[in-house]
Amino acid sequence: MFSFDNSYARLPQTFHRPARPAAARAPVLIRFNQTLAQELGLEVEGASDARLAQVLSGQVIPVGAEPLAQAYAGHQFGQFNPQLGDGRALLLGEVIDREGRRRDIQLKGSGPTAFSRNGDGMAALGPVLREYIVSEAFAALGVPATRALAAVATGEQVVRETMLPGAVLTRIAASHIRVGTFQFFAAQGDEDAVQTLADHVIDRHYPAAREAENPYLAMLTLVAERQARLIARWLSIGFIHGVMNTDNMAISGETIDFGPCAFLDEYDPRKVFSSIDQRGRYAYANQPGIGQWNIARLAECLLPLLDADEEKALEAANGVLKAFGDVFQDAWLMQFKAKLGVAGEEEDDRQLVSDFLELMHQGEADFTLTFRSLSKLAGGAAVETLTDLFTVSPPGLADWLTRWHARIDDDRTPAERQAQMEAVNPALIARNHRIEEAIAAAIYGDFSFFHRLVEALATPYAEEPDTADLRVPPTPDQRVARTFCGT
């Protein structure tokens, strides 16, 4: 089924531990991502659902797999933990996809490993479905993220606050190397391992860095830039990751770990959903600052590789942190200008964007629908299409609209403007209350809404009549106040 080529398994023994998937009594395939399987070049024609469920729950180890748990450390809510690692996941192996890219095949929720500490190594059905829904929604939105190849119900019960059905997610990633992977070795003072890991990362994700005068500085710079662009993308779709610990930041620049993540309904820059983020460390608008903080932790690990002279190494690292800020600012402005339909460059553009966000905040306007409606306004729709979305109509809105109309008035036709804006302003996002609804039904064995949601989210920029109910914000009694980690 897989043509494995396992580069991570060939790294030194300190990088990983062998892992064995736990037995599952009655694995049943919930969903299999055929399109992704094709992209990965998997040979699955003729494979029955039962066979897929066996393999993708770890009951049958496919030929060539070398199941292992990866070692990593991490700052969790600012606190350093030197010993984390894959506690409920294992890397089956790596394949080279149709486009020549190396991709990890990971089973998540497949039982305890050497790094499980007190955990059971299992995943409950809810978090598995949430990750499936959101990671595939990201793919359709064009935001870099790990992918979901399959979800399998194990037939086992897992113990959380209540007993819940267990499941395994097959996660596909460019790699599962995290900021925390570097921290694991740096914290032990193992500079050789840090260098080995950095070389692996350069070969795998940043080959251009190899040509630079200082490949490690080039790598750090590229990681920082990709992360800065990624976080600008998150903000542009109203996404809150929820648990941006350094062990949940992938070196590849893909979004990873859809735990307590959530999309904004009404715009509020201080919004937090995660039940464990009591101080709002990972609030919507804090994400760029946290991204930069995490990159600083990565830079610390790499200092000995940046320059033999400590002063110079620090200077280089600080340069990267500044670059992170600059790249983020540029990317953010570019994203939001596109959302407003603004072309070219004018001095007031940043102000135009932030004034609109401020008005949305005051008027508790739904983030997604507001930008979508603004696209319609650009195409000539009545102003109420937009203003109806504001609970209170903020006094400055009319003035702002006048400024905006003047700014977008160029040689594009209204229809062209609308089409361009609608291509970057999704109509459909994975709203929290819909995810919860899909999970609630699935726990009772009804997966139909889960399937419907996944399928609808595959075309987020379209306004299909049959997905109208999925596009609207929650009613007060549908609102989800809190999201929870899968643990």
Which segments are annotated as binding site for ATP? 85, 87-88, 108, 120-121, 171, 178, 257
Count residues binding Mg ion (CB under 5 A).
2
What are the residues facing 349 on neighbouring strands? none
Residues from 115 through 154 that contact ligand AMP (CB under 6 A)? 116, 119-122
DSSP states of 188-204 = TT-HHHHHHHHHHHHHH
| 266 DSSP β-pair partners | 366
Rg (CA), the chain: 23
Binding test (CB under 6 A) with ligand AMP, winner from 94, 131, 257, 366: 257
CA–CA distance, 150 with 30 (Å, rounded to integer)? 7
Q: Does 187 bind ligand AMP (CB under 6 A)?
A: no
Residue 243 binding target from ligand AMP, Mg ion, none, CB below 5 to 8 Å by type: ligand AMP
Report the alpha-carbon distance of residue 58 to residue 65 in Å, rounded: 11
CA distance 442 to 482: 19
Q: Is 485 in the site for ligand AMP (CB under 6 A)?
A: yes
85 binds, among ligand AMP, Mg ion, none (CB under 5 to 8 A by kind): ligand AMP
Whichever of 81 and 248 has its CB closer to Mg ion, that residue is: 248
d(CA 273, CA 33): 29
DSSP state string for 15-45: GEEE--PPP-SS-EEEEE-HHHHHHTT---T
* Cβ–Cβ < 8 Å for 124, 166: yes
Rounded distance between C-alpha atoms, residue 466 and residue 441, angstroms: 20
**Helix, strand, or coil here: 467?**
helix
Give the residue ranges of the annotated binding site for Mg(2+): 248, 257
Q: With beta carbons less than 8 A apart as the criterion, state whether 71 and 188 touch.
A: no
Choice from 126, 242, 259, 288 touching ligand AMP (CB under 6 A):
259
Residue from the set 58, 85, 126, 394 that interacts with ligand AMP by CB under 6 A = 85
Residue of the chain from 110, 154, 181, 248 that contacts Mg ion (CB under 5 A): 248
188 binds ligand AMP (CB under 6 A): no
Question: What angle, 0 to 180 degrees and rounded to 10, lies between the N-to-C axes of helices 287-306 and 310-340?
Answer: 150
CB of 86 to ligand AMP, least distance (A): 5
Of residues 247, 265, 277, 366, which has the active-site annotation?
Answer: 247
Alpha helices in 75-178 (DSSP H): 125-141
Q: Report if residue 297 touches ligand AMP, rule: CB under 6 A.
A: no
Residue whose entry in the numeric block shows the structure tokens 């770890």: 58
| Minimum gap (Å) between residue 486 Cβ and ligand AMP | 6
Task: Count residues near ligand AMP (CB under 6 A).
Answer: 17
Of the pair 261, 331, the CB lying nearest Mg ion is at 261
CB of 104 or CB of 120, closer to ligand AMP: 120
Query: Alpha-carbon dihedral of residues 45, 174, 274, 373, nearest 10 degrees?
Result: -80
The region of 33-41, 49-57, 85-93, 305-313 touching ligand AMP under the rule CB under 6 A is: 85-93
Residue 12 has a CB neighbour count (10 Å cut-off) of 12
**Farthest CA pair distance, the chain:** 66
Nearer to Mg ion, 248 or 375 (CB): 248
Cβ partners under 8 Å of residue 342, min gap 6 = 349, 352, 407, 408
Residue 277 or 366: the one with the smaller Cβ distance to ligand AMP is 277
Eight-state DSSP code of residue 153: E
Is residue 373 near Mg ion by the rule CB under 5 A? no
> Least distance in Å: CB of 485 to ligand AMP?
5
394 binds, among Mg ion, ligand AMP, none (CB under 5 to 8 A by kind): none
Closest CA to 373 of 395, 397, 354: 397
88 binds, among Mg ion, ligand AMP, none (CB under 5 to 8 A by kind): ligand AMP
Pick from 16, 75, 88, 103: which binds ligand AMP (CB under 6 A)?
A: 88
Which range binds ligand AMP by CB under 6 A, 23-31, 84-92, 206-214, 468-476? Answer: 84-92
- Residue type at position 419: A
Q: How far is the CB of 72 from Mg ion (least distance, A)?
A: 9
247 included as an active-site residue: yes
Binding site for Mg ion (CB under 5 A): 248, 257
Binding site for ligand AMP (CB under 6 A): 84-88, 116, 119-122, 243, 248, 257, 259, 485-487
Which residues are designated catalytic?
A: 247
